[in-house]
Amino acid sequence: MTQAEAASLLGCSSRHIRRLLARYRKEGDSALVHRARGRTSNRRLPDELRERTVAIISEHYEDFGPTFAAEKLAEHHGINISRETLRKWMVEAGLWRPRARKAHHRQFRERKAFFGEMVQIDTSEHDWFEGRGEPAVLITLIDDATSRVHMGFYPTDSTETNMSIMRDYIARYGRPMSFYGDKASHFRVNRHSTIEEQLEAREPATQIGRALEELDITYITAHSPQAKGRVERSFNTAQDRLVKELRLHNICTIEAANDFLEEHYMEYCNTRLAVAPLREEDAHRSAEGFDLDAIFSHQETRVVTNDYTIRFQCRRYQILEASALPGLVKSRVLVEQRLDGSMHLRYKGTYLQFRAIETPDPAAAAALPLALRARYRAAAEPNHSVTPAPDHPWRNRKKGASRSQQR
């Protein structure tokens, strides 16, 4: 072929083809090897920098991944190295072992289009303080469309703690269209309907389910952890990066950890890891007009007795005269135990004034007449059955005798 045809096939100029031919005739096959092969690159980083970097990682970031270690080197030590270069150095120094990925087929699901259209929620139980402090769990809410996160540390994974973080999220962003979580017992009822629920034609619901229904928020249950993979993957990142951040800042309490989340980590996630939604409209709805403190509370009903009292959790409460509404006796009132520890009574949308009845002193029982001791014992121990007094007519009744014979 001609030199022009060879240049077209190799993607170079005819002049370079003539140069290669002249070199080939003079040196043979070795002339076609690139001249830079075997030579040190002019852009190679100094060996001193490499040794210093490996020493810093060995001392401070031994269990860090290459990407996270590169960020910390730039942030705290002024060393700007690409993560791939650092990965190569760490592998050669034995500080990082490449992990083979296993292939698992899953059906791909597109992100939701709107911010607030669906929010995934889950809890991660992990040794977040690496034995330095109290046990804690991390509850995370992550938007499906943008990957924006809202998270908090709590002592346990319970109804109250999940209510607390949901309330904080809604107060900050508004009411999302739906929450997407697992089938835990504080989200989903795993029992049959009671007779009262059947008579009222309503499905059994947990305290969280009842609160979301009042706010017109749908709860969607996932059938596997992979189904809510976005929040699950966020825990992989948190269990790696967040644990090390807490260690670097010597944080070992839930309160200090939540301050760090608010001031640093959530901002980092929402700035560096979040993405833009497909649609710019915000699907969150306003929370104005909703009493979030009342909605996110533990609610139970109690019947008001003739003396305007109710029993709740082994204690008796007296409804004050100012709240003695018509038809209140023998009616059901709603007892609210709120997240701040306070208790409220509500009847047909009106909050009642009440006070707790102090349990009498057991030492004063000896001074009471024998006939009043049973009544005293009922007030002191509301869950126990009342024992008739020794002079009660029932005790004088003869076995097998009819009522007319006793008279």
DSSP string, 241-258: IIHHHHHHTT--SHHHHH
d(CA 109, CA 124): 23
State which amino acid sits at residue 381: E
Of 27, 18, 81, nearest in space to 54 by CA:
81
- Please answer whether residues 300 and 335 qualify as being in contact, where contact means their C-beta atoms are separated by less than 8 angstroms: yes
Record the pTM: 0.68
Q: What is the per-residue pLDDT for 366?
A: 57
Q: What is the per-residue pLDDT for 406?
A: 47
Give the percent of the chain with pLDDT over 90: 61
Q: What is the per-residue pLDDT for 367?
A: 56
Q: Which residues of the chain have pLDDT under 50?
A: 401-404, 406-407
d(CA 132, CA 252): 6
Residue whose entry in the numeric block shows the structure tokens 């070795």 = 30
- Please answer whether residues 35 and 49 qualify as being in contact, where contact means their C-beta atoms are separated by less than 8 angstroms: no
